[in-house]
Amino acid sequence: MLLLGWKQRYSDILKEFRYDGKKDKESAIILNSILKKSDINKKILNLVKGKTVLVIGSGPSLSSAIPKLRNYKNSIKIAADSSIKPLVENGIIPDIIVTDLDGDENILEKIAKTKSIFVVHAHGDNIEKLEFVKKIKNCMGTTQSIPFGKIHNFGGFTDGDRGVFLANHYDAKKIILFGMDFGDRIGKFSKTKKSERKTKLMKLKRGKSLLEWLATFTKSELFTTSKPIKGFKKISYKELDIIIT
């Protein structure tokens, strides 16, 4: 089921970024044909429902978040794309990885064989990357267009905010953001090329505004350790022990 209000937001995204909606659909059809039938939905539900979930992005605050995240070994972690490399290098293995497969391929390949669950987003500009899905042990497919077959749409646009929409869909009790600063500074782990900076900043703006929208209706309690986001309670690293139970 599509989130009420998603269709309009997706239509705005298509216009702003000049994406071809037909290509988004085509990409989703290809991903659906690659994915095998599985119990991935149940697995994610078991991980997320009623839990405190940490969602990790690649904003500038990721560096200071990593030593804190190491203290929360048992908390469910959803990591967005390029945040995976510094996390894994610091011994933090995410439970769920949200990606459109434009992150570091070596690290994605390493994690693909583990029990971590990949939530791979098919869109019109990553069709040629979808073959990678064949190497992933546990994988769910998403689209920003209409869901069908094995392809879901929980809402969201950038890898990080899609992680938050996923946690909302699966009824997380609390969602706490790390490295999700948005704003006008792109984090160093993001590895964004100079030529792509302008679009990236536009994407971040859109991602933030979608999270502000989510905050108006979600039942999950929302917190951020990163820069303030309307509807999210801003908390310091020191306060984490009180909130993470």
Ligand X SMILES: Nc1ncnc2c1ncn2[C@@H]1O[C@H](COP(=O)(O)OP(=O)(O)OP(=O)(O)O)[C@@H](O)[C@H]1O
> Site residues (CB under 5 A) for Mg ion?
81, 100, 102, 159
Output the residue with the shortest Cβ distance to Mg ion. 81
Nearest Cα residue to 232 out of 157, 158, 161: 161
160 lies in the site for ligand X, by CB under 6 A? yes
Count other Cβ atoms within 10 Å, centred on residue 143.
Answer: 21
Nearest Cα residue to 133 out of 238, 14, 218, 31: 31
Least distance in angstroms from the C-beta of 82 to ligand PH2: 11
Instruction: Choose the contact partner of 124 out of ligand X, ligand PH2, Mg ion, none; CB within 5 to 8 A by kind.
Output: ligand PH2
| For ligand PH2, the closer CB: 152 or 203 | 203
Output the residue with the shortest Cβ distance to ligand PH2. 123
Instruction: Choose the contact partner of 24 out of Mg ion, ligand PH2, ligand X, none; CB within 5 to 8 A by kind.
Output: ligand PH2
Instruction: Choose the contact partner of 160 out of ligand PH2, Mg ion, ligand X, none; CB within 5 to 8 A by kind.
Output: ligand X
| For ligand PH2, the closer CB: 29 or 93 | 29
x/- map, 114-143, ligand X, by CB under 6 A = ------------------------------
59 lies in the site for ligand X, by CB under 6 A? yes
Least distance in angstroms from the C-beta of 46 to Mg ion: 26
| For ligand PH2, the closer CB: 25 or 51 | 25
| For ligand PH2, the closer CB: 116 or 158 | 158
Could you write out the three-class secondary structure of the chain? CCCCCHHHHHHHHHHHHCCCHHHHHHHHHHHHHHCCCCCHHHHHHHHHCCCEEEEECCCCCHHHHHHHHCCCCCCEEEEEHHHHHHHHHCCCCCCEEEECCCCCHHHHHHHHCCCCEEEEECCCCCHHHHHHHHHCCCEEEECCCCCECCEECCCCCCHHHHHHHHHHHCCCCEEEEECCCCCCCCCHHHCCCHHHHHHHHHHHHHHHHHHHHHCCCCCCEEEECCCCCCCCEECCHHHHHHHCC
x/- map, 81-100, ligand X, by CB under 6 A = xxx----------------x
**Cα Rg of the chain (Å, integer):** 16
Q: Site residues (CB under 6 A) for ligand PH2?
A: 19, 24, 100, 123-125, 144, 157-158, 203
103 lies in the site for ligand X, by CB under 6 A? yes
57 lies in the site for ligand X, by CB under 6 A? yes
List interacting residues with ligand X (CB under 6 A). 57-60, 80-83, 100, 102-103, 158-161, 180-183, 185-187, 190, 203-204, 207
